[in-house]
Structure 1
Amino acid sequence: MAPSYLPTQQLEQFKQRYTKSETKIYQYLITHLEQVIYQSLTELSEQTGVAEATTLRFFKKIGYQGFQAFKLALAKEQTTETHASDDYVRHVHDNMIDVIQKSLHLVDRNTLEEVIDVIDAKTDVTVFAIGASAIAALDLQNRLMRIGKNITVITDSHTQIMRATSATNATVVIAISISGSTKEIIETTQIAKAKGATIIALTSYLKSPLTKHSDYVLLSNAKESPLDRGSLTAKVAQLYLIDLICTGITIKNQKQAERIKHEITENTTNKIY
Structure 2
Amino acid sequence: MPSGQRARAQAAAITPGGQAPEHERAPADRVRALFNGHRLSPGQRRIAQYLIDHLTEAAFLSITELAERVGVSQPSVTRFATALGFSGYPALRDMLQPIALSAVAGTPESSKEIRRNALQAAVDAEIANLENVRRLLADTDQVLDLGRELARSVPLTVLGLRISVSLAHYFAYAARRIHPDVRLITEGGSVAYDTLMQARAAGGTWVLAFAMPRHSKETLAAVQAARSAGLRVALITDLTLGPLVDEVDVALTAGTGSRLVFDSYAAPGILSAAVLQAMADADPERTQARLEGYEQVAEQHGFFL
TM-score bracket for this pair, using the shorter chain length = 0.5 to 0.7
Unaligned 5+ segments in structure 1 are 1-10, 13-25, 40-68
Say if 2:152 is the partner of 1:121. Answer: yes
Deviation at 1:219, TM superposition (A): 0.9
Aligned to 1:84: 112
1:252 to partner: Cα distance: 2.1
Q: Deviations over 1:116-160 (max 9, x none)?
A: 121011102211211221111111111111223431111111311
1:178 to 192, 196, 212: 212
From the superposition, tell whether residues 38 and 110 of structure 1 become closer, same or farther in structure 2 (CA, over 3 Å).
farther
Q: 1:52-80 CA deviation, whole Å, 9 max, x = no partner?
A: xxxxxxxxxxxxxxxxx967962697899
Partner of 1:38: 39
Q: Alignment length, in residue pairs? A: 218
Deviation at 1:35, TM superposition (A): 6.0
| 2:303 corresponds to 1:271 | yes
TM-score normalised per structure 1? 0.65
Residue 143 of structure 1 pairs with residue 177 of structure 2: no
User: Would the aligned equivalents of 1:122 and 1:170 in 2 still touch at CA under 8 Å?
Assistant: yes
Query: Contact conserved, 2:157 with 2:184, CA < 8 A, in 1?
Result: yes
- Would you say the 8 A contact 1:127–1:153 is kept in 2? yes
Match of 1:188 among 215, 222, 225: 222
Deviation at 1:208, TM superposition (A): 1.1
Aligned residue runs from structure 1 range 205-220, under 5 A:
205-220=239-254
Counterpart contact for 1:167–1:196, Cα < 8 Å: no
Q: Is the 8 A contact 1:181 1:209 kept in 2?
A: no
Q: Tell me the CA shift for residue 163 of structure 1.
A: 2.6
Q: Deviations over 1:182-210 (max 9, x none)?
A: 21000111121122110111111111110
Q: Gapped runs of 5+ residues in structure 2? A: 11-33, 41-77, 97-109
Please provide the CA RMSD for this pair: 3.8
**Counterparts in 2 of 1:42-81, with a 5 A limit?**
74=83
Deviation for aligned residue 1:36: 5.8
Please list the CA deviations of residues 14-51 of structure 1 after superposition, one character each: whole Å capped at 9, or x if unmatched: xxxxxxxxxxxx99899788566239xxxxxxxxxxxx
**TM-score, scaled relative to structure 2:** 0.59
User: Offset at 1:181?
Assistant: 3.4
- Contact 1:100–1:237 under 8 Å retained in 2: yes
Q: Structure 2 CA distance, aligned partners of 1:28 and 1:163?
A: 47
Q: Which has the higher contact order (CA 8 A, sep 6+)?
A: 1
Taking the aligned partners of 1:145 and 1:133, their CA distance within structure 2 comes to 18
Deviation at 1:253, TM superposition (A): 2.1
1:153–1:167 CA distance, 2 compared to 1 (3 A): closer
Counterparts of 1:208 and 1:237 in 2: how far apart (Å)? 20
Question: How far apart are the structure 2 equivalents of 1:27 and 1:84?
Answer: 31
On the 8 A contact 1:167/1:192 being kept in 2, the answer is no
- Does the residue aligned with 1:199 lie in a helix, a strand or coil? strand
CA distance in structure 2 between the partners assigned to 1:272 and 1:38 by the alignment: 41
3-state SS of the aligned residue for 1:128? strand
State the distance in 1 between where 2:112 and 2:6 align.
Answer: 35
Distance in 2, Cα, partners of 1:104 & 1:134: 24
| C-alpha contact 1:167 1:195 (8 A) present in aligned 2 | no
Q: Which has the larger radius of gyration?
A: 2
Provide the residue aligned with 1:99 in structure 2.
129
Letter in 2 for 1:74: A
